[in-house]
Amino acid sequence: MTLKQETIEDPYLFAILNKLFEQGLQKYRVPFIRRRLEHRMRLRKIPNYQKYAELLSKDPNEFTELISSFSITVTEFFRDPSFFERLRINILPSIIDNCRLTGSQTPEIKIWCAGSATGEEPYSIAILVRELLNADQNAMNLSSCRLGIFATDINSSSIGISQEGIYEETSLKNVTQNLLSRYFQRVSPKVPHSSTARFYQVSEDIRKSVDFHVADLTKTEPPATDFDMILCRNVMIYFDRESREKLIDKFHKALKPHGYLAIGQSEVLMGKLLGKFRSIYLRERIYQKA
């Protein structure tokens, strides 16, 4: 997207936006960029865009801080529990059945979490699939499926946190005691922590089933093809229409026939974006490749 001066009332804001666009931020929607910008201005107690433009030209650290403020990493285990319940009851069992029906010697379930932040979402999926596979195997002695979860995010420090898999208990509030005791170990925080908060590390087996990489969704190709499901939740809200369309197209190509796409609860696929998918669980924002 190119910026038109007449649509931006303040010339200093226009200059700042151009500077950010030169860094590749044109994929984000202008109102979102403005909110992040104004948040930084409030933190630095800067009264107007002119003063903030001056600060940016004097202080390269502020520019770095501003750029990293676009990567919002809010997430938790089993975020939106009703979404995960839908996966557990309807979507994952169907993916597991399909996996067993392939007749392959090494059947594999392939899932991509695009915009995985600090890893809670892909680990939640890995735990759910492991639970379902174990229950089936115990009940019917069925052959197992290999689980391959890919998780990508633009933010390299979030990917570092994900790989370590250590979380404060606040992000585990939706994890049942039963799952907590089987898939997490209590650990001491690496750096001494002032509060009495508890920390837990995801079990090694679950950590090994997720392959984490740094990647910009708007620039790089998917980490694999033939996915059974792609989750891109609470990421596209920040993108402009054109970037969203390209991304949906990319997801469509990377999915298996009838593969699933899940987006965030406050997002929706409409018009041209919906054309390639059909909505199967509207409330949970789950779509299927048409």
Ligand X SMILES: C[S@@+](CC[C@H](N)C(=O)[O-])C[C@H]1O[C@@H](n2cnc3c(N)ncnc32)[C@H](O)[C@@H]1O
Q: How far is CA 121 from CA 83, 88, 153, 168, 174, in A?
A: 12, 14, 12, 15, 12
HSE-up (13 A, CA, CB side) for residue 255? 26
Residues 261-280: x where in contact with ligand X by CB under 6 A, - otherwise, as a string = ---x----------------
Torsion angle defined by CA atoms of residues 242, 26, 31 and 247, in that order, rounded to the nearest 10 degrees: 30
Site for ligand X in 121-150 (CB under 6 A): 121
Tokens of 15: 């200059």
Q: Does the CA dihedral 111-280-278-144 come out positive or negative?
A: positive
**250 binding ligand X? (CB under 6 A):** no
**154 binding ligand X? (CB under 6 A):** yes
**75 binding ligand X? (CB under 6 A):** yes
**Of the candidate residues 155, 162, 171, 209, the single one contacting ligand X (CB under 6 A):** 155
**171 binding ligand X? (CB under 6 A):** no
**Of the candidate residues 26, 162, 171, 234, the single one contacting ligand X (CB under 6 A):** 234
**158 binding ligand X? (CB under 6 A):** yes
How many beta carbons lie within 10 A of that of residue 125, not counting itself?
A: 27
Least CB distance to ligand X at residue 97 (A):
26
**Of the candidate residues 46, 117, 255, 286, the single one contacting ligand X (CB under 6 A):** 117
Rounded to an integer, what distance in angstroms lies between the CA atom of residue 223 and that of residue 254? 9
**233 binding ligand X? (CB under 6 A):** yes
Task: Return the amino acid letter for 123.
Answer: Y
* Residues near ligand X (CB under 6 A): 71-75, 79, 115-117, 121, 153-155, 158, 216-218, 233-235, 238, 264
